[in-house]
C-alpha cells in the first residue's frame, strides 16, 4: 500500500500553513519572504491585528495623546474638545512628553554569525537583524524615535534616532548590509549609547551575551543610573542550549579561532548546568538593576519577542 499522503491531506496541510499568522512563522522561513522592510511590515502589522482580535489584553497597543487632569496642571493645556465629549478633563501631551526615544544596540560580532543547523536555523545575527527591523518598524509606527548602533569590538554603524517615516528605509538598508566580524565589546557600545542619549529613553540590547560580563553589566548599570530604561534580548542558538547526547565533538570559538576536541556525552551535564547558571545570573543581575531580561532561541517566532517589547513599552506610558 502506498504510504504517501493523499491529495486531500496535502491540501489541508498547505491550507494550515497559509493560515499561520506571519509573525508566528518559523524565522528561517520568514527571512525568505522578501527584503527587511517587507518582512518587518508584515510581522508587525500581523502581530498588531492579532492583538486587536485577542480577548486577552495584557497591554495597550496604542498610546494616548492626552492624559487625565490632576490638580496642579496648567489649565492652558486642558483639551476642551475632550471635555465636551466626555465631561472629563484631559491634558494635552506634546511630542516631547509622549514620544519615546529608543536605541537598538545590535551585536554583530563573529560569534553572532553562527548557526548550529545551516539551512534550517538562522544565524543569531540574521535573527537579530529581523528582530531589530521589526522593532524599528513598530517604534516608528507608534510615533517614537528609533536609532541603531551596531558593534563588535568597535562601533560598526551609528544611526541617530529619528521619528519620521522616511527614517525607516535608510535604517533598514544599513541594517541589511551588516556582516559578522570581530570580537565583542558590548560594554563599550552601551557606554557610547549612554553618552549619545541626552533625554531619558529606552535602550534595547540584542546580543548572544558572549561578552565580558562585568564590563557589560557595569555599562548597563550606568544607563539605569542615568534614568534610561533597559531591555536585554539574549539570543541563543538551540544547539547552544545543550550538547549532543553522544559522540566526539569539536568546539570552535569563532572569535579567537581556538578549537577543543572532546566527548560531548561526558561534558553534557556540566555544560547544561553552566548554561543554566549563566542565564540565571544574567536574569538576576538585570532584575537587580531594574532592567528587563529575556532569553530567546533563534527558532522563536518574532511575535513572541514583540510581545515582550510591548509589555515594556506599555509600562513606560
Residue 246 belongs to domain with CATH number: 3.40.50.410
Do 203 and 78 lie in one domain? The reply is no
Do 150 and 83 lie in one domain? The reply is no
Do 144 and 181 lie in one domain? The reply is yes
pLDDT on residue 65: 54
pLDDT on residue 140: 93
Do 147 and 112 lie in one domain? The reply is yes
Q: Which of 240, 239, 235 is nearest to 295 (CA)?
A: 235
Do 141 and 209 lie in one domain? The reply is yes
Tally Cβ neighbours within 10 Å of residue 32.
8
Cell digits of residue 181: 566580524
pLDDT on residue 95: 41
Long-range contacts of 269-275 (CB under 8 A, 24+ apart): 271/242, 271/243, 272/241, 272/242, 272/243, 275/240, 275/241, 275/242
Do 88 and 112 lie in one domain? The reply is no
pTM of the model: 0.79
Do 242 and 146 lie in one domain? The reply is yes
| pLDDT average per 10 residues of sequence, the chain (317 residues) | 42 44 87 93 89 49 56 72 78 57 97 94 98 96 94 96 94 96 94 90 97 97 95 95 66 57 69 93 98 97 93 81
Do 74 and 216 lie in one domain? The reply is no
Do 76 and 160 lie in one domain? The reply is no
**Position of cell 534614568?**
227
Q: Cα–Cα distances in Å, from 125 out to 92, 113, 146?
A: 41, 5, 19
Q: Which of 116, 98, 127 is nearest to 30 (CA)?
A: 127
Q: How far apart are CA 138 and CA 44, in angstroms?
A: 6
Could you tell me the residue range of the domain that residue 71 belongs to?
66-95
Backbone angles phi, psi at 92, to 5 degrees: -70, 130
pLDDT on residue 15: 36
Total domains in the fold of the chain: 2
Domain boundary among 95, 113, 135: 95
Do 182 and 252 lie in one domain? The reply is yes
Do 106 and 90 lie in one domain? The reply is no
pLDDT on residue 225: 94
Burial of 149 (0-12, 13-18, 19+ CB in 10 A): buried
Do 197 and 71 lie in one domain? The reply is no
Amino acid at each position: 500500500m502506498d504510504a504517501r499522503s493523499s491529495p486531500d491531506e496535502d491540501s489541508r496541510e498547505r491550507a494550515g500553513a497559509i493560515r499561520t499568522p506571519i509573525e508566528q512563522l518559523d524565522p528561517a522561513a520568514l527571512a525568505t519572504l522578501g527584503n527587511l522592510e517587507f518582512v518587518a511590515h508584515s510581522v508587525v502589522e500581523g502581530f498588531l491585528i492579532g492583538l486587536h482580535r485577542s480577548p486577552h489584553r495584557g497591554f495597550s497597543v496604542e498610546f494616548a495623546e492626552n492624559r487625565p487632569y490632576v490638580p496642579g496642571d496648567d489649565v492652558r493645556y486642558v483639551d476642551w474638545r475632550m471635555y465636551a465629549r466626555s465631561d472629563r478633563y484631559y491634558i494635552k501631551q506634546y511630542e516631547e512628553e509622549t514620544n519615546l526615544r529608543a536605541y537598538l544596540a545590535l551585536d554583530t560580532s563573529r560569534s553572532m554569525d553562527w548557526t548550529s543547523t545551516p539551512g534550517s536555523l538562522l544565524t543569531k545575527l540574521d535573527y537579530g537583524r529581523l528582530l531589530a527591523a521589526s522593532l524599528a518598524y513598530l517604534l516608528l509606527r507608534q510615533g517614537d524615535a528609533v536609532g541603531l548602533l551596531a558593534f563588535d569590538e568597535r562601533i560598526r554603524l551609528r544611526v541617530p534616532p529619528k521619528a519620521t517615516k522616511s527614517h525607516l528605509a535608510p535604517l533598514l538598508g544599513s541594517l541589511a548590509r551588516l556582516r559578522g566580524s570581530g570580537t565583542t565589546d558590548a560594554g563599550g557600545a552601551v557606554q557610547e549609547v549612554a553618552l549619545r542619549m541626552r533625554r531619558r529613553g529606552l535602550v534595547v540590547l540584542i546580543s548572544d551575551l558572549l561578552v565580558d560580563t562585568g564590563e557589560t553589566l557595569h555599562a548597563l548599570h550606568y544607563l539605569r543610573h542615568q534614568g534610561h530604561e533597559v531591555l536585554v534580548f539574549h539570543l541563543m542558538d538551540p544547539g547552544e542550549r545543550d550538547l549532543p547526547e553522544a559522540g566526539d565533538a569539536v568546539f570552535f570559538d569563532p572569535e579567537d579561532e581556538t578549537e577543543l576536541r572532546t566527548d560531548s556525552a561526558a561534558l553534557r551535564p556540566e555544560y547544561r548546568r553552566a548554561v543554566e547558571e549563566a542565564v540565571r545570573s544574567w536574569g538576576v543581575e538585570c532584575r537587580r538593576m531594574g532592567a528587563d531580561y529575556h532569553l530567546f532561541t533563534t527558532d522563536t517566532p518574532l511575535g513572541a519577542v514583540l510581545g515582550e517589547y510591548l509589555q515594556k513599552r506599555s509600562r513606560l506610558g
